[in-house]
Structure 1
Amino acid sequence: MSVSDVLLIFLGRREGVDGWLRLRDGAVVARGTGLEGLPDLADPLRIVAAVPGDAVAIHRFELPEGLAPAQAAAAARLMAAEVSAQPVSEMHVAVGAGREGDALRLVALVPALAMADWLGRLQAQGLDPDSVIPEPLLLTAPDEGFRRYDRGELPLYRGRNEAFSIEPDLAALVVGDAPVETIGDEAFERGLGDTIAAPAVDLRQGAFAKRRRWAIDWKRLRRTALVAAGILLLTLAIQIASIFRYTFAADALEAEAAEVAAGVLPGSGPVTDPARQLDSRLAQLGGGGAGFDTLASGLIAGIRATPNVQLTALVFDREGSLRATVQGDTPAAFSALEQRIEASGFEVDVGPARSGGGQPTAELTVRAS
């Protein structure tokens, strides 16, 4: 939103709109009475509403420096309760910007119903102001004394730290002997650029702050879509990698089964179907019991579940027992293997551990329970 292109709307003291000014780069370029000839309300036009000064009480409060806006508003509300003629719960309290090294802050008090009425009147005409400024604060502050501008029924007064709009007789009591500079339309309009760019107090805050229009951030949406697509592709890649890993593991298991079968089958012929060829060999040997495949499955399952244990030899005897030679990193690994095979429902005899090939080696005999 550009502060160089401003639509200033003057609200009437009773109802409606008194008139408007169009400012560009601080200079008035168009004007109108009421809402006649109002320019198109297109961005980046900034809309500022000027509200009657006699409806707003402007005070100076000493607030600690460094307060957050919400803290400053809460502190000002407590102080306003001591000077407000109406219950502070019925008032809208707006705090002006602080000046470095100065604890005094301008604080505006206006009935909340009046504030709601002003905004309602404007919004009914399709106008949603970005700022709401009391009319006396549209005057630039003088270095000393007061500056007066006669606009409408009541003149506007602005001092160094004061701003009000009251009847001239009452104003004389407030001003006292202080010098008063009366300005005309040209001087008033010449100072609007500064007073609008940095309002001493903007009533559009707190409960009456302008709500931001919700808009789609297309750049952020595109980034989110790219991240989502990346996550989806990564998930798909993980699934594909898992499929290949399981496939390779199955191939390795089949190769291991063929290697084990080749060690117990007679002759040098190829092993194409380990389970069928072992069953055939078992039948030739008249083996019984649980059968080679059942015992071998229990043994191999136990070996796979026991870390750092590998099979080096396997023999199935005529009594239906499976004798295996295994190597491990420690003798404790053989005890763990024995427990796992027994948990599968088989009897296991573990021979004493000996050294073979630089690693502990043991003989196992597995048979059906």
Structure 2
Amino acid sequence: MVGRALLLWLPGRADAPAACPWWEVADGRLLAHGTDSGWLPRSADRAREPVTTIGLVGPADVRLEARDPDDLASAQARTAARLQAEDKALGADPHAATSTAGWIATTDAARMQGWLDWATVQDVALDRIVPAAALLPRDGDWHEARFGPHKVIAKDGLAMPDDPALMAALVGDDFVHSLDNEALLDRFANLEDGVPIDLRQGRFARVRRWKPDPKRLREFAILVGLILLAAIAIPVAKALKWDAEAGALDRETAAIATAALGRPVTAEAAEAELRTALGSGGAARADATQMIASLLAAMQPEVGVEAGMIDWNASGTLSARLVSADSAAVNRVLLTLQQRGWIVTANPVAGGDGRAAVDLTMRGGA
């Protein structure tokens, strides 16, 4: 059995004290037991292995019925059996549960709620609630076992407490096998891996809250750290990319303005220098600023295209030589300028270095 299991004999009242028969088992061994409230600190001991808390209930509170496991193999068959058991049960609000091991258990919903309320008062969560009689052998014979002060007698699910009148009526002269403590402990030890039937089904199913394994907290901490690092790194990487693109655009702007003016010009001063050089003498000169800006904008997405030998004359014509290893990129620049309303002519020339070169002239439309 992996981990620990804490078994509690559940009292019949929600306001009952914490003292009850209990057993703590792990790895097939009985670690401790008692009939007091000594189980409470063991249920909350975070320094030890996680504990599975299992409530045991007596035959006076739960009716058991044995079926062929094959008859309850499918989810549909178990649902049908559960509904039939609730329909046949006495009481205003019955609750039934089924299992693939061939058990049908029926109790009262108010009793189920009482057990859960008692556990809530003790600040403990019941992982499973198991009829004690389902732990006894199922072989056609009567068996009895002691759960602390409580004695359970059962034959294939037909179970009863230690009551002389019931014993006389149901058992008669049949032999009753006694389940010793060692055999009962073996059955306890197997409960953490799987119970014969669990009453915590349907509306009373356990809603588990996720809790990290203390042994994996370091892994979670590393994972959270990596997520935070990625959250910081992504915008930083984007900012560096934008800065690099802005730097490339600034260099291109400075190169065009330098070529146009015939002297070194920075990107920050390019617009002012061009306006000063153009002066305010007429619409043709104003067009030159628009032409240079439009040429720069058309070249921006074509990172491999370079502009040189830029010139502007008083007739309102801008001349430039575009050079690129990709002739299609040059053609896209020319097409963009034409789409923006400029009259563009282009003449291929020898680049001298194997790259495509085009001498263009552009002027405003009529």
Tell me the TM-score normalized by structure 1.
0.69
**Alpha-carbon offset, residue 40 of structure 1:** 3.1
Residue identity in the other structure for 1:111: D
Aligned-partner Cα distance in 1 for 2:334–2:53: 85
Indicate the larger mover: 187-196 or 211-220: 211-220
Structure 1 residue 49 corresponds to structure 2 residue 55: yes
Structure 1 residue 146 corresponds to structure 2 residue 139: no
Give the aligned partner of residue 102 of structure 1: none
**Alpha-carbon offset, residue 112 of structure 1:** 0.7
What whole-Å deviation, never above 9, does each CA across 1:101-148 have from its counterpart, x for those lacking one? xxxx1111000101112332344345544433323234x316442113
Structure 1 residue 131 corresponds to structure 2 residue 109: no
Residues 280, 368 of structure 1: alpha-carbon distance in 2 compared, 3 angstrom cutoff: farther
Give the aligned partner of residue 191 of structure 1: 183
Alignment size in residue pairs: 335
Gaps of 5+ in 2: none
Aligned-partner Cα distance in 1 for 2:277–2:40: 101
- Among the aligned pairs, what percent are the same residue? 21
SS in 1 for 2:83: helix
Aligned-partner Cα distance in 2 for 1:116–1:235: 53
Residues 201, 211 of structure 1: alpha-carbon distance in 2 compared, 3 angstrom cutoff: same
Gaps of 5+ in 1: 99-104, 263-269, 343-347
SS in 1 for 2:137: coil
**Alpha-carbon offset, residue 246 of structure 1:** 0.7
Residue identity in the other structure for 1:148: E
Structure 1 residue 75 corresponds to structure 2 residue 68: no
What whole-Å deviation, never above 9, does each CA across 1:236-266 have from its counterpart, x for those lacking one? 132023213312320232023212333xxxx
What whole-Å deviation, never above 9, does each CA across 1:184-237 have from its counterpart, x for those lacking one? xxx443332233233422323443344445546644254123212223123213
What whole-Å deviation, never above 9, does each CA across 1:35-63 have from its counterpart, x for those lacking one? 36666334355544332312211112456
Give the aligned partner of residue 337 of structure 1: 337
Give the aligned partner of residue 97 of structure 2: 94
Contact 1:72/1:95 (8 A) holds in 2: no
**Alpha-carbon offset, residue 311 of structure 1:** 5.0
Aligned-partner Cα distance in 2 for 1:215–1:296: 66
Aligned-partner Cα distance in 2 for 1:259–1:214: 67
Aligned-partner Cα distance in 2 for 1:127–1:306: 66
**Alpha-carbon offset, residue 368 of structure 1:** 7.5
Larger Rg: 1 or 2?
1
Q: Residue 283 of structure 2 is aligned with which of 283, 289, 298?
A: 289
Residues 277, 22 of structure 1: alpha-carbon distance in 2 compared, 3 angstrom cutoff: closer
- In angstroms, what is the RMSD of aligned CA positions? 4.4
Give the aligned partner of residue 257 of structure 1: 257
Residue identity in the other structure for 1:200: P
